[in-house]
Amino acid sequence: MIRGTVFDIQRFSVHDGPGIRSTVFLKGCSLRCFWCHNPEGIRPQPEIQFEPDKCIGCGECVVVCPQGAQHLDGTRRIFERDRCDACGQCVETCYAGALSLVGRAMAVEDVLAEVMQDRPFYDSSGGGVTLSGGEPVLQTGFARALLARLQAGGVHTAIETAGYYPWERLETLLPHIDLVMMDLKQMDSARHRAATGAPNERILETARRLAQTAIPVIFRVPVIPTVNDTPGAIRAIAAFVGELSALRGAALPLELLPFHRLAESKYTSLGREYAARSLPASVENFAELQTVVQEYGF
């Protein structure tokens, strides 16, 4: 039985594709974007989230941790993340909800049981189920099994992807996907690498190949200060999508997504550094950048 590592299922998603949708978030990503809004989706393995503000100092986790990673020194709580192997026993004893496990193994049936509850809403609103993450394409076998089952059940399927993997992985999923939403971040490969940890050639290749299929695609640009928030950077992406539209023989949509810093607390709870801390809280010239996109006819 195929299991996937899922870190969240969000019902009533209205920004992840058309209609009312549920979004299934798969854990693990092949990029390391420094501003990531879902840092709990980066690493493929389950991991512990610790929110010290919720801790009531009961000490149960200290007693139960097989690795001795939890400590209570008076009222001070210490979590030695290096010792932790995410077995989750501390989570079971933490009723205050200060410790939680992000990412759990789910069978396709488990995911379906959750998302099919909203089937009547998908039907009445033209919605469906979206796979996201992390990078959902990386859990190729699980994603394929889940998408196939949804499709067989008459549910509209969508996927949000960054495109950084061998084409064959995505290709095997395409027969079961109704809509692809793909991120494009930077046309300059060196700048792309500095921001995301990887050059962009393979990503652009994925985009080209997608353009040459018949599958509905929406290209989206997360607009990030210092990365791509200039008219020049946006223009370059718009020109690229223009080329892809020519390849497709039809106009392909391009949307801009504004950056936010709401994810900051997630980094803290995961014991990660929030590299985007020094960035402004929002993109001030967002309207100007949207005009650039509109000039290209998007």
Q: What are the residues binding other proteins (CB under 8 A)?
A: 8, 10-12, 14, 18-20, 22, 56, 58, 60, 95-97, 113-114, 117-118, 120-121, 123-125, 127
Task: Name which of 12 and 141 has its Cβ closer to other proteins.
Answer: 12
Helix (H, G, I), strand (E, B) or coil at 199: coil
Smallest distance from other proteins to CB 244, Å: 24
Smallest distance from other proteins to CB 56, Å: 6
Smallest distance from other proteins to CB 127, Å: 8
Task: Name which of 197 and 216 has its Cβ closer to other proteins.
Answer: 216
Asked if 160 and 255 touch (Cβ cutoff 8 Å), the reply is no
Task: Name which of 76 and 260 has its Cβ closer to other proteins.
Answer: 260
Task: Name which of 25 and 165 has its Cβ closer to other proteins.
Answer: 25
Alpha carbons 21 and 201: distance in angstroms, whole number: 32
Q: 25: which strand partners? A: 8, 132
Task: Name which of 124 and 212 has its Cβ closer to other proteins.
Answer: 124
For the CA atoms of 208, 14, 225, 255, the dihedral, rounded to the nearest 10 degrees, stands at: 40
Task: Name which of 94 and 244 has its Cβ closer to other proteins.
Answer: 94
SS3 sequence of 218-238 = EEEEEECCCCCCCHHHHHHHH
Asked if 238 and 221 touch (Cβ cutoff 8 Å), the reply is no
Smallest distance from other proteins to CB 96, Å: 5
CA distance to 36, 73, 217, 288, per residue, from 202 (Å): 20, 49, 17, 29
Smallest distance from other proteins to CB 26, Å: 17
Smallest distance from other proteins to CB 113, Å: 6
Which ranges constitute the DSSP H helices of 72-188?
89-93, 108-115, 119-125, 140-152, 167-173
Helix (H, G, I), strand (E, B) or coil at 157: strand
